[in-house]
Amino acid sequence: MKPDIEKLTKTYLDNLEPTDKVQTIWDPAVRGFGVRLSPQGCMSFIMKYDHLGRQRWIVLGRYGEITLDQARKRVAQIRLELLTGSDPAQKRKEEREAPTMRELALRFLEEHVEVKRKPTTLRQYRDVVNRFIIPILGAKPVKEVEANDISKLHHRMRETPYQANRALAVLSKMLQLAEVWGFRPMKSNPCYLIEKFKERPKERYLSEPELSRLGEVLAQVEREKLVDVFVVAAIRLLIFTGARVSEILNLQWHHVDLNNGTLRLPDSKTGAKVIFLSVPAANVLKKMPKLVGSPWVIPSEEPENPWVNINKPWLKIRELAKLEGVRIHDLRHTFASMAVQSGLSLEMVGGLLGHSQASTTKRYSHLSNRFLSTENKKVGDKLAKALSTPKKKSKG
Counting Cα atoms < 13 Å in the Cβ hemisphere of 58 gives 23
Q: Averaged over 360-369, what is the pLDDT?
A: 60
Query: What is the rounded distance in angstroms from the CA atom of residue 43 to the CA atom of residue 34?
Result: 10
Q: Are strands 43-51 and 262-265 parallel, antiparallel or unpaired?
A: unpaired
Quickly state the pLDDT bin for 366 (edges 50, 70, 90): low
Residue-level pLDDT at 379: 63
Tell me how far apart the alpha carbons of residues 357 and 347 are, in angstroms, rounded to a whole number. 10
pLDDT at 88 over 60: yes
> What's the predicted TM-score (pTM) here?
0.54
Q: What is the pLDDT of residue 395?
A: 58
Residue 358: pLDDT band (50, 70, 90) is low
Evaluate if residue 392 carries a pLDDT over 80.
Answer: no
Q: What was the pLDDT predicted at 97?
A: 61
Give which of 194, 105, 128 is closest to 155, Cα–Cα.
194
Q: What average pLDDT does this structure show over 141-154?
A: 94
Gap between the Cα atoms of 72 and 67, Å rounded: 9
CB contact at 8 A, 2 and 8: no
- Rounded CA-CA distance 64/143 in Å is 30
Could you tell me if 138 and 102 are in contact, meaning their C-beta atoms sit under 8 angstroms apart?
yes
Closest to 340 measured CA to CA, from 371, 361, 362, 363: 371
- pLDDT value at residue 118: 81
Distance CA 192, CA 268 (A): 29
The answer to which of 1-15, 190-204, 253-267 has the lowest mean pLDDT is 1-15
| pLDDT higher than 60, residue 41 | yes
Of the candidates 227, 275, 228, 221, which has an alpha carbon nearest to the alpha carbon of residue 247?
Answer: 275
- Say yes or no to pLDDT of 323 above 80: yes
Residue 96, pLDDT > 70, answer no
3-state class (DSSP) for residue 240: helix
Segment 91-115 shows an average pLDDT of 83
- pLDDT single digits (tens) 331-351: 888 888 777 777 776 677 666
Q: How far is CA 365 from the centre of its chain?
A: 27
Under 8 Å between Cβ of 104 and 94: no
pLDDT (average), residues 99-114? 92
Query: Which range (19-33, 190-204, 319-333, 370-384) has the least confidence?
Result: 370-384
pLDDT at 156: 94
Q: What is the DSSP string of 323-338?
A: -TT--TTHHHHHHHHH
Angle at 377 between CA 211 and CA 391, to 5 degrees: 135
Q: How far apart, in Å, are the Cα atoms of 31 and each of 26, 49, 68, 197, 279? A: 8, 9, 15, 57, 91
The pLDDT of 21-49, averaged and rounded, is: 90
pLDDT in tens, 277-313: 888 889 999 998 888 888 999 998 888 888 888 999 9
Q: Which residue has the higher pLDDT, 154 or 375?
A: 154
Least confident of 17-21, 122-126, 146-150, 346-350: 346-350
Indicate whether 36 pLDDT > 80.
Answer: yes
The confidence band for 93, taking pLDDT boundaries of 50, 70 and 90, is low
Question: What burial letters (b/e) apply to 207-246, b meaning 16+ CB within 10 Å?
Answer: eeebbebbeebbeebbeeeebbebbbbbbbbbbbbbbbbe
Look over the chain and give the mean of its residue pLDDT values, rounded to a whole number: 84
8 Å CB contact between 323 and 213:
yes
pLDDT on residue 275: 84
